[in-house]
Amino acid sequence: MVGPTAVGKTDLAVKLAKKLSCEIISCDSRQFYKEMSIGTAKPSLEEMQGIKHHFVDSHSVGIHYSAGDFERDVDSFLNKYFQEKEVAIMVGGSGLFVQAVVSGLDDMPEAPLQLRAQLMERLEKGELSQLQEELKKLDEITYKNIDLQNGQRVVRALEVCLSTGKPYSLFQKNAPKKRDYDIVKIGIESPREELYERINRRVDKMLESGLVKEVESLLEFKNQNALQTVGYKEVFGFLENEYDYQTMVDLLKRNTRRYAKRQMTWFKNKDNFEWFDAQDIEKILSFLKQKLK
């Protein structure tokens, strides 16, 4: 089950898991990390309501955990899980990680660490637009098809182009991997104004819950991939006196809204997702039960 940030995926997943007597797999690429809770809107024990959640607090922020790692670990987990249970709910908004489990990822060549470090340094210096232009020259197909605002994706595509002398898109076979289980893909959404209001309220709640202190405790990990993300970058800027508190709040809300829009663009461009209103649990449950027969 996919959808934009703050749309209500966690609450809905828990309700569905109760009805279907199953467990939940988190597919949020930041909720893996033990040290990142407030800024990731990680579900509390109370919000989990006794439903077992997997891949939450499973790694330390100092460890790089890729979509390929997640694909391997979830596939291994599910093959064991389905020996005892019939249904699992994977829920999240991290498109590449969803794709990794649903369709598999292409085998990409590894780039030299020094090249990646150089490109990441440029990204951190604010050279995203220059990196985008370089990618356009080397691989226009990828340039037209990836989320250009996601610096990590731009760097990954560019490092493959530069290290191999071939376009990143050349390595993308887009041949889905066969799984030993069936997958039902649904998406949930809300009217834009309603979603944006939920985002604004969530940011306010995060700040009240101690987001600034959480980010402050992670300053030594600032350059880790996991922290190059909305909800953390904006607070780092405030802590480093780049702008005042109110500007930070405005940036948090604006960038989260933009992130939600990018998530929807990603998932709407993927086929075979059945879309529902986030509040229509009965319709969703009816659809799932029909598919599970």
Q: pLDDT (tens digit, 9 = 90+) per residue, 28-75?
A: 999 999 999 999 999 999 999 999 999 999 999 988 888 889 999 999
How far is CA 169 from each of CA 183, 199, 291, rounded to the nearest angstrom? 26, 34, 34
Kindly state whether residues 237 and 207 are assigned to the same domain. Answer: yes
> Which tops the pLDDT comparison, 157 or 175?
157
| Residue where a domain stops, chosen among 123, 153, 171 | 171
Q: Which amino acid type is present at position 132? A: Q
Distance CA 23, CA 33 (A): 20
State the pLDDT confidence band at 1, using cuts at 50, 70 and 90.
Answer: very high
| Residue where a domain stops, chosen among 141, 171, 201 | 171
Distance CA 172, CA 48 (A): 37
For residue 255, give the nearest of 9, 5, 2 by alpha carbon. Answer: 5
Kindly state whether residues 150 and 214 are assigned to the same domain. Answer: no
Kindly state whether residues 206 and 268 are assigned to the same domain. Answer: yes
Task: Supply the range of the domain harboring residue 257.
Answer: 9-106+175-292
Share of the chain above pLDDT 70, in %: 99
Mean pLDDT, residues 3-16: 96
Q: What is the 3-state secondary structure (H, E, C) of the chain?
A: CECCCCCCHHHHHHHHHHHHCCEEEECCCCCCECCCCCCCCCCCHHHHCCCCEECCCCECCCCCCCHHHHHHHHHHHHHHHCCCCCCEEEEECCHHHHHHHHCCCCCCCCCCHHHHHHHHHHHHCCCHHHHHHHHHHHCHHHHHHCCCCCHHHHHHHHHHHHHHCCCHHHHCCCCCCCCCCCCCCEEEECCHHHHHHHHHHHHHHHHHCCHHHHHHCCHHHCCCHHHCCCCCHHHHHHHCCCCCHHHHHHHHHHHHHHHHHHHHHHHHCCCCCEEEECCCHHHHHHHHHHHHC
| Residue where a domain stops, chosen among 171, 198, 219 | 171
Taken in order 70, 73, 78, 81, the sign of the CA dihedral is negative
Confidence (pLDDT) at 223 = 81
Question: How many separate domains does the chain show?
Answer: 2
Q: What is the pTM for the complete model shown?
A: 0.84
CATH of the domain at 120: 1.10.20.140
Please write the tens of the pLDDT for every residue from 201-256.
Answer: 999 999 999 999 999 999 999 888 789 889 999 999 999 999 999 999 999 999 99
Distance CA 95, CA 73 (A): 17
Please write the tens of the pLDDT for every residue from 107-122.
Answer: 788 888 788 888 988 9
Kindly state whether residues 16 and 95 are assigned to the same domain. Answer: yes
Kindly state whether residues 211 and 223 are assigned to the same domain. Answer: yes
Check pLDDT > 90 for residue 293.
no
Kindly state whether residues 145 and 190 are assigned to the same domain. Answer: no
Confidence (pLDDT) at 86 = 95
> Which tops the pLDDT comparison, 213 or 292?
213
Confidence (pLDDT) at 174 = 67
Kindly state whether residues 154 and 204 are assigned to the same domain. Answer: no
